[in-house]
């Protein structure tokens, strides 16, 4: 169901800071034309922390309507408030999202048992499959292999977006849980390696800017043509690096502004990138053949 290059969509804003639905839809259409295999609206890249609940729901519904079942939509529905996450999952289900991406609870630092109970409650109410999003760098907590294995036994928990950058984690989880558990990379720089360890795809920031290259890389990996995948990776490495020189999604929004898919506007406390990062992003896009 979920594999290949899945774009973690930015949420474009107009110059006045409001949601830019026209550019959002235009961006999705371009992505579909260039081989993107799925979308995640309102994840970290979509600036979910600074969207109101109404905006959050509107972005998901707009994405579902624009995609129109051509590829899966994995709605960002996570929260460190379990009841809030339930509300987001129920809304995503009602508007036709195919799955939910749920981040480990951030800031309040639950134990492994707390994380298990959080996801179990979401599992029990959800009408759509759930992908766990494990990103210790942003959430402080790290879901253990053992907790992941317990959750994989529940009927709605079907996989993980792994942003630990620990490639051994993929093999360990595959060993304990089995090959049917969907493991998706959440790190563009290490996605190629994760695929070699049994991954199914990548929820990618870079694919916002380089959808065709990211789709081709994932296709090559899924065909076990890692020589071809490495050649594509060589084109993308400077871009993977440049898009994280400052806090994402500020660099990727700047990159998309060069392609006329987005204004260079982020919401505070994020700010637009410095002139030095602008140069690095431009150079990386030229290296990848995008500019």
Using only C-alpha atoms, what is the Rg of the chain?
18
Active-site residue, 106 included: no
What phi-psi label fits residue 289: left (phi over 0), alpha (psi between -120 and 50 degrees) or beta?
A: left
Is 133 a catalytic site residue?
Answer: yes
d(Cα 123, Cα 101) in Å, to the nearest integer?
12
Residue 248 makes CB contacts below 8 A (sequence gap 6+) with 44, 45, 205
Q: Which of 57, 116, 156, 161 is catalytic?
A: 161
Catalytic choice (116, 133, 254, 261): 133
Q: From the centroid of its chain, how far is CA 74?
A: 9
Residues 6 or more apart from 87 whose CB is under 8 A from it? 53
Tell me the catalytic residues.
133, 161
């Amino acid at each position: 169901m979920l594999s290949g290059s899945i774009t973690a969509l930015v949420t474009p804003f107009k110059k006045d800071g409001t949601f830019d639905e026209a550019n959002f839809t235009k961006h999705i259409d371009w992505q579909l034309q260039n081989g993107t295999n799925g979308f995640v609206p309102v994840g970290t890249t979509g600036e979910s922390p600074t969207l109101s609940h109404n905006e959050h729901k509107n972005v998901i519904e707009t994405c579902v309507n624009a995609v129109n079942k051509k590829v899966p939509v994995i709605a960002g529905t996570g929260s460190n408030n379990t009841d809030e996450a339930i509300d987001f999952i129920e809304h995503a289900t009602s508007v036709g999202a195919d799955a939910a991406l749920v981040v480990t609870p951030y800031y309040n630092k639950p134990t492994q048992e707390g994380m298990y109970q959080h996801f179990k409650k979401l599992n029990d109410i959800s009408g759509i499959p759930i992908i766990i999003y494990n990103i210790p760098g942003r959430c402080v907590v790290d879901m253990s292999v053992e907790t992941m294995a317990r959750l994989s036994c529940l009927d709605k928990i079907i996989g993980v977006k792994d942003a630990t950058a620990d490639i051994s984690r993929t093999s360990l989880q595959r060993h304990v849980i089995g090959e049917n558990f969907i493991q998706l990379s959440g790190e563009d720089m290490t996605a190629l390696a994760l695929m070699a360890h049994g991954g199914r795809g990548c929820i990618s920031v870079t694919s916002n800017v380089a959808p065709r290259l990211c789709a081709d890389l994932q296709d090559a990996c899924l065909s076990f043509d890692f020589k071809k995948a490495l050649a594509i990776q060589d084109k993308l490495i400077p871009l993977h690096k440049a898009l994280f020189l400052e806090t994402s999604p500020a660099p990727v929004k700047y990159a998309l502004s060069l392609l006329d898919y987005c204004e260079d506007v982020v919401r505070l406390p994020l700010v637009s990138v410095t002139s030095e990062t602008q140069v690095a992003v431009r150079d990386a896009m030229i290296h990848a053949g995008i500019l």
